[in-house]
Amino acid sequence: TVYVTHDQEEALTLSDRIAVFNQGRVFQVGTPRDLYQRPTNRFVADFIGVNNLIDGTVRELDAAAARALVDTPVGALRTQTTGDLRSGDKCVLCVRPENVEIGGLSADENALRGKIAFAAYLGSTVRYDVELGSGVTVKADDRDPWHHETRPLGGEIELSFPIGATLATNEISPGRPTDPMLIAIATKPPTRILSGVRSTPNTAAQKNTTPRLATGLVMRNTATASGRTMLATRSGTPIASRDRST
């Protein structure tokens, strides 16, 4: 089953593998976990979810351990690598806000100090924008806002993030994404809820349902000689379809 969507949550939830397209070019194909945790270039790192991106240059590379020491505007940081970088290469460091710890430090972590520029209460988290200097600002999540008061703007804080959650990836981007699209491939789609309709693909119960995705794409099951195809349409016009045998 193939889904065509611009909605990241739908793609991550429904698929086994995802292809990330922009301007007709495939930037990465992989599992939802691969795309989120190990993007192979700046475009995917920036497009999938929220990410802190810090430009850098590889100073030292340990290919056997897939780790590197990277010079950045805020100092040298230790990181994992995607495996296709060399010493002297330009790269971008990726750190998710949920992996940035406010205070605390262990031996296997990077540490930085900055000032709080903005705080947003999001219910389950408080997300801070922290200015590190040299024009670099990172987002950090406080995941326990129930038991902590929001920190004051302008206050200095220490940040840390594990080497295992820091990734140096390729500096490849098409510039401003003009038409990003996700092709989500599900070999065994789970039971799911779309717009209040609980549906299990390829069952009689779904034959008369037409779940509507948040993107405005209507997903229709159609029978073929070799299997069942999920056809994505908008306003009744087919956008893409793919049979599992092709």
pLDDT at residue 143, as a whole number:
87
Check pLDDT > 80 for residue 69: yes
Q: Name the token pair of 99.
A: 């992996």
Is the distance from CB of 22 to CB of 43 less than 8 angstroms? Answer: yes
**pLDDT interval class at 199 (50, 70, 90):** very low
Q: CA-to-CA distance for 5 and 187, rounded, in angstroms? A: 17
Q: Mind listing the pLDDT tens digit for each residue in 202-222?
A: 444 444 333 343 344 334 333
pLDDT at residue 44, as a whole number:
93
**pLDDT interval class at 64 (50, 70, 90):** confident
Angstrom distances, CA of residue 5 to CA of 9, 35, 120:
10, 16, 29
Q: Mind listing the pLDDT tens digit for each residue in 85-142?
A: 999 999 999 999 999 999 866 667 899 999 999 999 999 999 999 999 999 999 999 9
Put simply, whether the predicted model's pTM sits higher than 0.75 gets the answer no
| Average pLDDT score over the chain | 77
> No. of H helices and E strands in the chain?
3, 19
Instruction: Tell me which residue has tokens 């390729």.
Output: 170
